Amino acid sequence: MSKRKVIIIGAGPCGLSAAIECEKAGFDVTVIERGNIVHALYRYPTHQQFFSTSEKLAIGDIPFYSTERKPKRNEALVYYRKVVEEYGLTIEAYEEVTKIDRLGIHDFKVTSVKQNGLTMERDAHAVIVATGYYDSPNYMHIPGEDQKHVFHYFHEAHPFYNQKVAVIGGKNSAIDAALELEKAGAEVSVYCRYDNYSSSIKPWILPDFESLVKQGKIMMHFETEIHEIGEDTISVSDVTGTKRNDRADFVFAMTGYHPDHSFIRSMGVEVDMETGRPVFNSESMETNVDGIYIAGVIAAGNNANEIFIENGRHHGGLIASHLGAQFHD
């Protein structure tokens, strides 16, 4: 009897973990990823340090050794590449899933498009969606946000040496970007709509940031609202409602990210409109559509701080157990 086929959409750590667990359970697994493996982690800032320890980022019972207790981006990229090699996972990189048709009970046709435009069709008995949320930034919907000097991702600070840079946001991504930009010689101003720092900021970086603010090396503006981004200015108002135009050669709108619900809705998966959380069984990760599962942060809906690699990596085991019971001969 041929192996039952499972297709996983997304080759992030949670998708890779699900692939490993399903292969251990005897399934034939293909992972389809529109970038390359752990593409979201690749898009992190070059010197990004994780909140979690290396032990909590490990998958597939393969130890993650790091030079520090909390590893950095480059170490994670090396680790997950080695995991894929160790297990010999089948990864179809630079291929985007465009459609999933349910033909019957545990019978799906998955349509995807390769980078060269070639359309692929694959059969599957089950589909696991592990697409994350990092590809969908939260836009401010203000004039000028779509200009080429406005970014929603921060990768490297060097190009902004000796430039006036505005960072919008008050959480980890904004603080990390501001620190790297200041280190590279940018003139940095941070704009936050709240009256204080977020409690989610990594505790080991906040003292350094506050020290730079006290020294006047980073300008911190709380309780501010951005109304418009010009060619070299941003229009800002403070808590009194007073508006002003501040100079900004470049703008980093680090306003967070959200899951793209349109894709899973197209499969028939129900999504709660208020929370953005797909309907699923927390014991099996199966959605309201039999045979379609979710893994990773997509299960958290709009609250991306609820699920991380360290807890999302366990979803694969739940899915594999449920699939194994369904197809037990």
pLDDT single digits (tens) 20-36: 999 999 999 999 999 99
**Percentage, residues of the chain above pLDDT 90:** 75
**pLDDT above 60 for 191:** yes
Average pLDDT over residues 207-230: 96
Q: Which of 152, 131, 129, 126 has the alpha carbon at shortest distance from 140?
A: 152
Query: What are 234-239's contacts with CB under 8 Å, separation 24+?
Result: 234/166, 234/191, 236/191, 239/195
Same domain, 127 and 163: no
**pLDDT above 70 for 328:** no
Strand partners, 81: none
> Which three-class secondary structure string do you get for 11-70?
CCHHHHHHHHHHHHCCCEEEEECCCCCCHHHHCCCCCCECCCCHHHHCCCCCCCCCCCCC
In single-letter form, the type of residue at position 263 comes to F
Q: For the chain, how many structural domains are there in total?
A: 2
Tens digit of pLDDT for each residue in 119-149? 999 999 999 999 987 778 899 999 999 999 9
Establish if 113 belongs to a structural domain: yes
**pLDDT, position 77:** 96
What is the sign, positive or negative, of the torsion defined by CA atoms of 163, 164, 168, 172?
positive
Two tokens, residue 103: 């033909």
**pLDDT, position 199:** 86
Tens digit of pLDDT for each residue in 36-77? 999 999 988 888 888 888 999 999 999 999 988 889 999 999
What number of CA atoms fall less than 13 Å from residue 182's CA on the CB side? 22
CA dihedral of residues 168, 172, 176, 177 (deg, nearest 10):
-30
Two tokens, residue 138: 């939260």
- Pairing verdict, β 95-104 and 107-114: antiparallel
Considering the chain, what is the average pLDDT of its residues?
93
C-alpha–C-alpha distance, residues 248 and 231, integer Å: 8
In single-letter form, the type of residue at position 94 comes to Y
**pLDDT, position 1:** 43
The beta strands (E) that lie in 177-231 are given as 187-191, 218-221, 225-229
**In the listed set 230, 253, 276, which residue is the last one of a domain according to the structure?**
253
**pLDDT, position 67:** 87
Same domain, 290 and 313: yes
What is the sign, positive or negative, of the torsion defined by CA atoms of 70, 196, 171, 252?
negative
Establish if 119 belongs to a structural domain: yes
Same domain, 188 and 236: yes
**In the listed set 231, 253, 275, which residue is the last one of a domain according to the structure?**
253
Same domain, 82 and 22: yes
Task: Give the domain extent around 277.
Answer: 5-136+257-326
| Burial class of 240 by CB neighbour count within 10 A (0 to 12, 13 to 18, 19+) | exposed
Same domain, 49 and 131: yes
**pLDDT above 90 for 99:** yes
**Percentage, residues of the chain above pLDDT 70:** 98
Write the CATH number for 166. 3.50.50.60
Establish if 47 belongs to a structural domain: yes
Tens digit of pLDDT for each residue in 244-264? 999 999 999 999 888 778 889
Q: pTM of this prediction?
A: 0.89
**In the listed set 253, 286, 315, which residue is the last one of a domain according to the structure?**
253
C-alpha–C-alpha distance, residues 207 and 108, integer Å: 52
* Apex 304 CA angle, 302 and 309, nearest 5: 145
CA dihedral of residues 259, 10, 100, 312 (deg, nearest 10):
-60
Q: What is the DSSP string of 286-324?
A: BBSSTTEEE-SGGGGTT-TTS--HHHHTTHHHHHHHHHH
Tens digit of pLDDT for each residue in 262-282? 889 999 999 998 888 999 999
Q: Give the model's confidence band at 2: pLDDT under 50 very low, under 70 low, under 90 confident, else very high.
A: low
Establish if 181 belongs to a structural domain: yes
CB neighbour list of residue 33: distance below 8 Å, 6 or more residues apart: 9, 10, 11, 15, 39, 91, 92, 93, 94, 95
Same domain, 200 and 277: no
Instruction: With beta carbons less than 8 A apart as the criterion, state whether 72 and 44 touch.
Output: no
Establish if 156 belongs to a structural domain: yes
Instruction: With beta carbons less than 8 A apart as the criterion, state whether 156 and 131 touch.
Output: no
- Pairing verdict, β 107-114 and 28-32: unpaired
